[in-house]
């Protein structure tokens, strides 16, 4: 048999529930960052060719603050054409920094050569 609930009690319960709905529930915030990607370091058997001469063009119109990253050689390891020229480009700096430290080729202790990525400072 069903129990009867007095109307006053039902009204108070509904009033209490309506007050709960006026504020959003508190939620925990979880920030998920991507896992760092594994990088493969290619070691060239010899030094890269001499750098190309690049004429630095004016920055693109309306691009905001940008910094020129000079071109560089990348070692492909492919027979016949083991080196590939990567042309320079303008890139926007991350917030708060304006200096691009160019990458460079460095000789390894074993006599090979490896590319040290450029970075912002």
Over range 113-120, report the average pLDDT.
89
pLDDT of res. 94:
87
Could you give the CA distance from residue 17 to residue 23 in angstroms, rounded to a whole number? 11
pLDDT in tens, 80-94: 889 999 999 998 888
pLDDT in tens, 9-63: 555 555 454 555 555 555 555 445 555 555 556 788 889 999 889 999 999 998 8
pLDDT of res. 89:
93
pLDDT of res. 73:
93
pLDDT of res. 4:
53
Q: 91 and 120 in contact (C-beta within 8 Å)?
A: no
**Strand boundaries in the chain, DSSP class E:** 43-44, 67-69, 72-75, 83-86, 89-91, 100-101, 104-107, 113-116, 119-120
């Amino acid at each position: 048999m069903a129990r009867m609930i007095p109307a006053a009690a039902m009204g108070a319960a509904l009033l209490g529930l309506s007050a709960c709905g006026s504020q959003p529930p508190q939620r925990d915030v979880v920030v998920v960052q991507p896992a760092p990607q594994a990088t493969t370091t290619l070691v060239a058997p010899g030094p890269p060719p001499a750098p190309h001469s690049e004429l630095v063009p004016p920055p693109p119109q309306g691009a905001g603050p940008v910094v020129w990253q000079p071109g560089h050689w990348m070692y492909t390891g492919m027979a016949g054409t083991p080196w590939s020229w990567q042309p320079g480009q303008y890139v926007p700096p991350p917030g708060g920094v304006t200096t691009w430290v160019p990458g460079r080729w460095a000789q390894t202790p074993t006599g090979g050569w490896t590319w040290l990525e450029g970075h912002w400072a």
